Chain A
Amino acid sequence: MKATITALGSTTIALIGALSGSAIAAEKLTYYCSAQEDWCQLMANGFEEATGIKVNMTRKSSGETMAQLKAEADNPKGDIWWGGTGDPHLQAAEEGLTEPYESPMRGELHDWAIKQAESGGNATIGIYSGALGYGYNEEVLEANNLPVPACWKDLLKPEYKGHVQMANPNSSGTAYTTLATIVQLFGEEEGFEFMKGLHKNINQYTKSGSAPIKAAARGENTIGIVFMHDAVAQAASGFPIKVVAPCEGTGYEIGGMSIVKGARNPENAQKFYDWALQADVQSRSLEVKAFQVMSNKAAESSPLAPDLDSLTLIDYDFTKYGSSDERKRLLKKWDDEVSVLPQ
């Protein structure tokens, strides 16, 4: 009897709530996402389930989102911006488009995530990171009697001619990171010599960053220069892909998260921010085959994923190589000196 009354009571309350719900504006969060679609969706649904706050999601690349934030600066429509490579997040912080916030979750994070926050005046934070490398298709490599590569310089060997793929740095952020990494690793002069040597072995410059490893997975290519987590994702899908962390060391990207300055729902944005840094939330990235290293130390990682601590990472200068002038200069140089060479 008591149970029935309780049930009745709660139904009534729920009904009243539903009826008046439209009068009192529902709790909501406008969420700009720059990661892969299914990951964005997972985060949006997860947050709705965890808090009951309604999430309006827009997925756009980090460059496009940056442009949108600028356009909406006087009348921000977004609350939180999650995912996407760190450069535009830092740029937004620099231009005062995002709001500094120090999350109570900071104690649980890796150092690189905090370092990212500090270089952005605490207006952004690292949520994941991924190192550059390459992957190869074991079966195709074997079928062609090719040696197993281990270093960047191995890729210059003449026997790999027509077996290597990378994206075009003009159209892909991944490939630009590759170019910048090589320049930082070997110095500009030698770095460009490396790119010219590599050019001879390249069978196709793809448009999208992860396409080379996907082609390798299908046996349409042998070696693909990509972020290692993309190569791991292919291996995890059952393709005969092996991931290589180049012996000379390598560059990396840090995915960012920022709260929009002047957000309409600032409390909900902070709630999302703290929630997104939790270990159990970050562990869910494995569900969508996102094999980046997550920023919470306690977050699970796939046994297939490369361990960032075991890698030789270069001291990637995000400020210099993220600036649009340096970017334009390097790309022009690559266009003029590398892409025009015969293959």
Chain B
Amino acid sequence: MNRVVLLWLMVGVAGFCLLPWYVLEEGLWSFEWLFDGYPTDSDYAPAVFLLLQGEKLWLSPLLLFLLAPVLVIFRDKSDPLFSKVLCLAGGLGLLYLLAQGFSIGIRGWNSELLLAVFGELGDRQYGFGYGAMLLGISFLFYLTTGIAARGVVNGDVFVVGSIGFVIAMVGLFIFLPVLQMLSSALQDDQGQYSLLVFFSKFFDDKIWGLHCLVSSRGCGVAWNSLSLALLVGALTTLLGLVFALVATRSGLRQAHLLRPLTVLPIITPPFVIGLAIILLFGLSGTVTQFVADLFGLQPSRWVYGMPGILIAQLLSFTPIAFLVLIGVVEGISPSMEEASQTLRASRWQTFKTVSLPLMRPGLANAFLLGFIESMADFGNPLVLGGNFDVLSTEIFFAIVGAQNDQGKAAVLAIVLLIFTLTAFYAQRRWLGKKSYTTRTGKGDGGIPTKMPRRVLYPCYALVTIWGTFTLVVYGMIVYGGFVELWGLDHTLTFKHYITAFDVAINEHGIHWRGSAWDSFWTTLRIAATAAPLTAALGLVTAYLLVRQNFRGKNAFEFGTMLSFAIPGTVIGVAYILAFNVPPLELTGTGVILVISFIFRNMPVGVRAGIASMSQLDKSLDEASLTLGANTWRTFRQIILPLMRPAILAALVFSFVRAMTAISAVIFLVSAEHNMATSYIIGRVENNDYGIAIAYSTVLIVVMLSVVAIMQLAVGKAKTSRRTTPGLAVQAAPDAVVVR
């Protein structure tokens, strides 16, 4: 008897006969259904009970697909019939399951065409619940087991199953929502599809207008976003390079102090930098007032608009460029520069003709990261935008504002997606074609040359100014949580911390009375749920990419890394459009938040996994396989233990990102599942800067401790096997992109 088939058969039968078929109104974790009319009440009934009562008869063919593999369960894997039956049952079962889900909704038939063909249905159905979910999983693995039996990937059931699972997940939670969004951009007010409507919306003057060139009117949002992103990309790269040079080639002993800077953007909640900038440079800001008094100038609102966003984004994203470039600068082999100097080039010539060109891929990479980050940034333009509209905020207001125009949001999201995907594609092409190898594995003696003076001194100056500025901004953030009314009344107080985090202890136990606890625990819970799942999915994907060969591997890789280039606002909009209605009714649940984090942060796990798995010699797997273990066991007992550092890195980053993410979250939170960042945005909108800042400071402290603890754990894990030092840092450039 084939045990794999038996397992999935049992899972499917449980889904069909035991668990409620439809989604539970009370939420995923409610167990009211067990006591309230189960198994006959049609809201809670498993599919088989529905059928026995003569309801939802369109579910009956599913039983056929579920039970068909019983015919072949005692046959050998190599029997052609075995694979044929499994493939058909799984494939057709999945198709039928989805087709019925999409065609019958809460108001009967979902499309006019079906209504015309089959007539009035007189019945309806809600979204998939536990039952449908399990049956779907069982169909999926029937299919992959069937495919494996045909000899694909050496007939390995585990590998084919994993590939199938990853494809299904990515398809369901990345491609489906994005496609759904594309289709809603094509609809007019009446829900009719029309290309004309799309083009009139897409080429709207408000998106592409160029009035700013000829008059005082603003330009279209697309141009605003594009010019801002180009500027931010260029300047962060420049600053990042300066920092990287000072850190590695200045000969300054304090230079290593720059490193912790890289953690800052990852653990800083959105908005706080924008708020600090307003309090420094706003109309009534400290610096503005000081300068105005000093020179007798009229204070102005110059900071609102492009200048303010630019400063805030430079502060936020320069450390990312630094992080990317420090690796590149360190990687340049000193021997090349020594060769150049031996040939009598001056330090400046060497720098200009040898070192700098070798850094090109790193520079391009840093530029593109800055570009994508700026495009996707949501918090800073929201606070500092003034009349300078950018795509990410326009998308938000198209959904939440009085317009409530999902079609417009979808069109804007598409424009944004085109920009970032182009950048993403350009990056891959650039990195794919050129080789800048400097590490050859051969003897690599020598120490890095110092920079020429004419580069070094300006660099020092910039780093000092910038470092001081960053310190002032973060100092203000901490200080702002302890004053009565930031900007007006600077009496010191613990008021905001008490309002947000008050705890009372009496005979009945601990009472979390502060207004922030609710969202704080929700955030911790959701981040802690999402982190291991993200790491697991990422590592399995990395394993498939590094260790296995199969057809379509490149497309597979591109698909899994795609969410990298999709800004959070776009994912948010896409998820609302796709998961608000049956068959996948997820909005308003905590599950949708967890899912959005998993797929937004998955590339981090994949990257971390690939980096560390490439360092493990394949002979280890082979040894295990030769000794009779199957791939699952090899993966579990050989590879996983050796990858502890990568696992921890992926865990930390997905946890921290889940705590500071805002752009997708803002669309997906609900009253029951409110997240810290959306609570903070509410406080900012209410002009309660004190609480917003106090909460942000607490979040920063919490995340710093998490990072520190994990760092310690990673350090210990290193002893088990030689790996490249600073693995956590390697994963970081990926981590920060996911926003």
Contact A171 B671 (CB under 8 A): no
The residue that A207 contacts in the complex, of B401, B488, B588, B686, with Cβ under 8 A, is B401
Given the complex of chains A and B, what is the CA–CA distance between A208 and B403 in angstroms? 12
Q: A91 contacts the other chain (Cβ, under 8 Å)?
A: no
- Asked if A208 contacts B283 (CB within 8 A), the reply is no
Give the distance in Å from the alpha carbon of A203 to the alpha carbon of B386 in the complex: 9
Per the bound structure, the CA–CA distance linking A217 and B485 in Å amounts to 11
Contact B402 A173 (CB under 8 A): yes
Report Cα–Cα, A217/B216, bound state, in Å: 28
Whether the Cβ atoms of B301 and A220 lie closer than 8 Å is: yes
Interchain CA distance A64-B667 in the complex, whole Å? 13
A77 to B487, CA, bound (A): 46
Q: Mark A173-216, 1 if CB is under 8 A from B, else 0.
A: 10010000000000000000000000000011101100100100
B446-469 contact mask (Cβ, 8 Å, vs A): 1 or 0:
000000000000000000000000
Given contacts A25-B32, A74-B107, A172-B402, contact A218 B393 (CB under 8 A): no
Report the bound CA distance from A7 to B32 in whole Å. 29
- Least Cβ–Cβ distance between B515 and chain A, in angstroms: 8
The minimal Cβ–Cβ distance linking A72 to chain B, given in whole angstroms, is 8
Closest to B300 in A: A162
In the assembly, what is the distance between CA of A203 and CA of B301, in Å? Answer: 9
Point out the residue from A41, A71, A220 that lies within 8 Å of B278, measured CB to CB.
Answer: A220
B402 touches A59 (CB 8 A): no
Tell which of A25, A37, A217 touches B36, judged by Cβ atoms closer than 8 Å.
A25
Which positions 34-91 of chain A face chain B at CB distance < 8 Å?
A: 36-37, 40-41, 57-59, 61, 63-64, 67, 71-72, 74-75, 77
Whether A23 lies near B687 (C-beta < 8 A) is: no
Q: Does B397 contact A (CB under 8 A)?
A: yes
Q: Which residues of B contact A23 (CB under 8 A)?
A: 35-36
Contact A75 B124 (CB under 8 A): yes
A171, B283: Cβ atoms closer than 8 Å: no
Interchain CB contact under 8 A, B387 and A63? no
Chain A neighbourhood of B42, CB < 8 A: none
Q: Does B682 contact A (CB under 8 A)?
A: yes
Q: Is the CB of A214 within 8 A of B283?
A: no
Chain A: minimal CB distance from B394 (Å): 9
Q: Which of B200-228 contact A (CB under 8 A)?
A: 215-217
Q: Kindly identify, within residues 195 to 245 of chain A, every residue whose CB is under 8 Å from any CB belonging to chain B.
A: 203-205, 207-208, 211, 214, 217-221, 234, 237-239
In contact, B487 and A219 (Cβ under 8 angstroms): yes
Q: Quick one: which of B35, B107, B282 contacts A218, CB cutoff 8 A?
A: B282
Whether B488 and A239, one on each chain, are in contact in the complex, defined by CB atoms closer than 8 angstroms, is yes
Structural contact, A208 and B685, CB atoms closer than 8 A: yes
A63 in contact with B402 (CB, 8 Å): yes
B712 CB, nearest partner CB in chain A, Å? 39
Which of A58, A162, A171, A239 makes the CB contact (< 8 A) with B401? A171
Any chain B CB within 8 A of the CB of A302?
no
A238 and B685 within 8 A (CB): no
Q: How far is the CB of B236 from chain A (nearest CB, A)?
A: 27
A343 interface residue per 8 A CB criterion: yes
Contact: A74 with B301, CB < 8 Å?
A: no
A143 nearest CB across to chain B (Å): 9
Count of chain B residues near A, Cβ 8 A: 37
Contacts A75-B106, A217-B687, A238-B489; is A207 near B397 (CB within 8 Å)?
yes
Contact residues on A (Cβ < 8 Å of other chain), bracket: 35 or more
CB-CB under 8 A from B10, the residues of chain A are: none
Is B701 located at the chain interface by the 8 A CB criterion?
Answer: no
Q: Say whether A37 contacts B687, CB under 8 Å.
A: no
Chain B 670-701 near chain A by CB (<8 Å), digits 1 or 0: 11000000000010011100000000000000
Contact among A25, A220, A234 with B283 in the assembled complex (CB-CB below 8 Å): A220
Contact flags (1/0) for B385-408 with A, using CB distance below 8 Å? 011000001000100111110000
Contact A238 B36 (CB under 8 A): no
A208 to B215, alpha carbons, bound, how many Å? 26
Q: Please give, as numbers and ranges, the residues of chain B lying within 8 Å of A265 by CB-CB distance.
A: none
Residue B723 CB within 8 A of the other chain: no
Query: Does residue B76 face the partner (Cβ distance < 8 Å to A)?
Result: no
Nearest chain-A residue to B301 (Cβ)?
A203
Render B402-435 as a binary contact track against A, CB cut-off 8 A, 1 for contact.
1110000000000000000000000000000000
Whether the pair B488, A238 counts as a contact (CB closer than 8 A) is yes
Q: Which residues of B contact A64 (CB under 8 A)?
A: 404
Q: B444 contacts the other chain (Cβ, under 8 Å)?
A: no
Closest A-B pairs by Cβ, 4 of them: A219-B284, A171-B401, A214-B687, A63-B404
- Give B residues with C-beta under 8 Å from A: 25, 32, 35-36, 106-107, 124, 215-217, 278, 282-284, 301, 304, 386-387, 393, 397, 400-404, 485, 487-489, 581, 588, 670-671, 682, 685-687
Q: List 27 A-B contacts (CB under 8 A).
A: A25-B32, A58-B671, A59-B670, A61-B404, A64-B404, A74-B124, A75-B124, A77-B25, A162-B301, A170-B403, A171-B401, A171-B403, A172-B402, A173-B402, A203-B301, A204-B301, A204-B387, A208-B685, A211-B685, A214-B686, A218-B284, A219-B487, A220-B304, A239-B485, A239-B488, A239-B687, A342-B216
Taking A211-B685, A214-B685 as known contacts, 18 extra A-B pairs with beta carbons closer than 8 A to each other, sorted by chain A number, are A36-B686, A37-B671, A140-B283, A171-B403, A172-B401, A176-B402, A204-B386, A208-B685, A214-B686, A214-B687, A217-B687, A218-B488, A219-B284, A219-B487, A220-B284, A234-B687, A237-B687, A340-B217
